[in-house]
Amino acid sequence: MGRHGTIAGRKAAQDSKRAAVFTKYARAITVAAKGGGDPEYNAALRVAIEKAKSISMPNDNITRAIKKGTGELAGETYEELSFEGYGAGGVAVIVDALTDNKNRTTSAVRSTFDKYGGNLGTPGCVSYMFSRKGVIIIEKTDAIDEDTLMETALEAGADDMVVHEDSFEIQTDPSEYSNVHGALIDAGYIIAESDIEYLPSMEASPQDASAIKNLKKMIDILEDNDDVQKVYTNSGIDLYEE
C-alpha cells in the first residue's frame, strides 16, 4: 500500500491542491490533443479527458485545453522532462514534468531535492528499479463483482489485477492501456485514477522519522509544482498517511 496509499488519503491530498491539479490535467489534455481533437479517434485524449472529469474539472477548461492543443487557440508549447534521483532515506524518485521553460523546471526540481536531503542523479540512475505499466484504479463497492471485473479487464488486454483494501488495481502493458481503459468505461465501471506509471520492482522503507518527514515534504513540494505531472517512488511506506 505504500506506493498508492488509500483512495481516501490520495483524494484528500489531491483536494488540497485542486488548482494545481487542474493546471496539470489541462496541460496533459493540450499535449494529447496535438494528436487530434476528437476523443473518439484519439485514445490518449479520451483518457486525459476522463481523468480531468474525475476531478470535476469544468467543461470550459477541458474545451479550452483541447483547442490549445489543436491550434484553435494560442497556447504554450510544452516539453516532456523526466528527472531521477534519491530522496531522504534512500528512496528512489522519478519526476515527470511538462514545461514551457526547461531551465525553470530543472532548477526548481534540483533545489527541492537538495533542500530536503535528496540527491538528483543522471537519467537511468533509478529507473532500472521500476517497470513502465498502465495502472487503472477502481474503488471497491458492493456492486462490483471481482471476477467479472477481472474478466472484463483481461479480455481487453490487461496483464493483471491486484486487490487492495479499498480498490482494484488493474495493470496493463503501456500499449494496451488505452484499450483497457476504454473497455472498462464502456462496461460502466467508474475509474478513480488511471495513468501510465512507473511501478517499483524493489522497495525502500526508511525507518528514521526525520528522513520520512523530509521525504514526505519533498514529494509534497514537487507535486505542488505546476510543471510536475507525476512523482513516483519505491517507498514501502504510505507517503500520504498523516
Can you list the domains of the chain with their CATH numbers? 7-70 (1.10.10.200), 79-117+203-233 (3.30.70.980), 129-200 (3.30.70.980)
- The reported pLDDT for the residue numbered 2 is 38
Predicted confidence pLDDT, tens digits, the chain (242 residues): 335 566 666 665 555 566 678 899 999 999 999 999 999 899 889 989 988 988 889 999 999 999 999 999 988 889 999 999 999 999 999 999 999 999 999 999 999 999 999 999 999 999 999 999 999 999 999 999 999 999 999 999 999 999 998 999 999 999 999 899 999 999 999 998 888 999 999 999 998 999 999 999 999 999 999 999 999 999 998 887 76
> CB of 242 within 8 A of CB of 10?
no
Q: Tell me which residue has cell 520492482.
A: 201
Looking at residue 16, what is its pLDDT?
54
Q: How confident is the model at residue 21, as a pLDDT?
A: 85
Q: Which pLDDT value is given to residue 142?
A: 94
